Amino acid sequence: MPIFFYGAMIMTIKILSIIMVLIGATFLFLSFSPAMKIWRNLSGRVRRKWLIIIYLMGFFILGHLAFAVILISNLPLPLELVPGGVFLGGAVFVYVIINISLNTVAAQQKAEEAILVAKNDWENTFDAVTDMITIHDMDFNIIRANPAARAIFGLQPHEEIPLVKCFRCCVSDVTTERENRRQDAQAARASSQKAFCYRDVRALSE
């Protein structure tokens, strides 16, 4: 291979290496600000580990820039030291990330278990109350009822609740808006031998 082409190939490889190193340093630099925001919102052991990550990011940036400077200025320095240090830092970086991930997963599992325990406690309390309790959505549809309410409605323990407005338990037709007057009603439930007193008042206009 002619010396000219060999020299041109070496120069091309060097330029490509410099470009790739600078692009990598840019991505690391852009990641610095989000990493600092995460670190500020943490506490305790996880905060200290994230500080190690930030230091490693700074070390990687300096390593990238040092490698680029050596390539550009042709300094008589052993290039092998730079990638060796970067590889070592990368291994430590991965180790810290894996440990943080393990702690995060463990904390999430613990939180999910606590939520499940709280959910079971709430459901047991909800079902144990002897008074009628119903839960409604934003449109006043009954979406859940405790056993006492199911007994009043004549529903089986696992029977699906019909999509019905809560006030329909007492009256079949609401005439407040149509007749522009207060509506009072009393409805008896044969299944429970109980009566409901219902009153609907028209909202005041502005």
| CA pair distance 29, 24, nearest whole angstrom | 9
| CA pair distance 54, 33, nearest whole angstrom | 10
The single-letter DSSP state of residue 160 is P
Identity of residue 62: L
Tell me the pLDDT tens digit for each residue of 110-145.
999 999 999 999 989 988 988 888 888 887 788 888
Whole-number average pLDDT of the chain? 77
> In the predicted model, is pLDDT for residue 206 greater than 50?
no
Other CB atoms within 10 Å distance of the CB of residue 198: 15
> In the predicted model, is pLDDT for residue 202 greater than 70?
no
Q: Residue 153 in contact with residue 159, Cβ under 8 Å?
A: no
Tell me the pLDDT tens digit for each residue of 60-101.
888 888 888 888 887 777 767 777 877 888 888 888 888 888
Give me the residue spans of the domains in the chain: 3-124, 130-200
Which runs of E-coded beta strand occur in the chain?
Answer: 134-136, 142-145, 183-189, 194-200
Sequence-distant (≥ 6) Cβ neighbours of residue 156 within 8 angstroms: 150
> In the predicted model, is pLDDT for residue 9 greater than 50?
yes
CA atoms in the 13 A half-sphere facing the CB of 159: 12
Higher pLDDT, 105 or 157: 105
- Using a cut of 0.75, tell me whether the model's pTM lies above it: no
Query: What pLDDT score was predicted for residue 112?
Result: 92
> In the predicted model, is pLDDT for residue 167 greater than 60?
yes
